[in-house]
Amino acid sequence: MKKSEEKSVKRLALNFINDIIMKMKKATSIKIKRRRKIRLGIRKKIKGTSDMPRLSVYKSNKGIYAQLIDDVNANTLVSASYRDKGINPGTKSEVAKQVGTLIAKRAVENNIESVVFDRSGYKFHGIIKSLADGAREGGLKF
């Protein structure tokens, strides 16, 4: 190969890689960008302490996760998810309610009664609401 041919092949490869990178940047949906922005706004206002930790919620396509976080010491005090033992299969809302009661039970065992609820940019309805209801039924106050 001549040098000019090598340069043109390199240019084509670089253009191809740049196109892929640009498509990946555009692939982030508006919904995800909106949730990130809301989440940052919520996190500016909410701080968890060891006396009153932050109940952080994450939901995936399959299930839901919840953690009690002490932001001052930067550690997780209690966690629960749909994968834990004792969670019976059912609809996503039913499972979320079970996760809420489970995290409340674990929190009460660790002498935690009140928390700050962090919905992580999700709307407070459906799965998030049923997790919160389950946590309230389990004995948490927020």
Higher per-residue confidence, 45 vs 18? 45
Could you tell me which CATH class the domain 46-138 is placed in?
alpha beta
Select from 127, 137, 111 the least CA-distant residue to 66.
Answer: 127
Ordered by start, the domain boundaries in the chain are 1-43, 46-138
The mean pLDDT value of the chain amounts to 86
Instruction: Please report the pLDDT score of residue 2 as a whole number.
Output: 60
Q: Provide mean pLDDT across the span 48-56.
A: 90
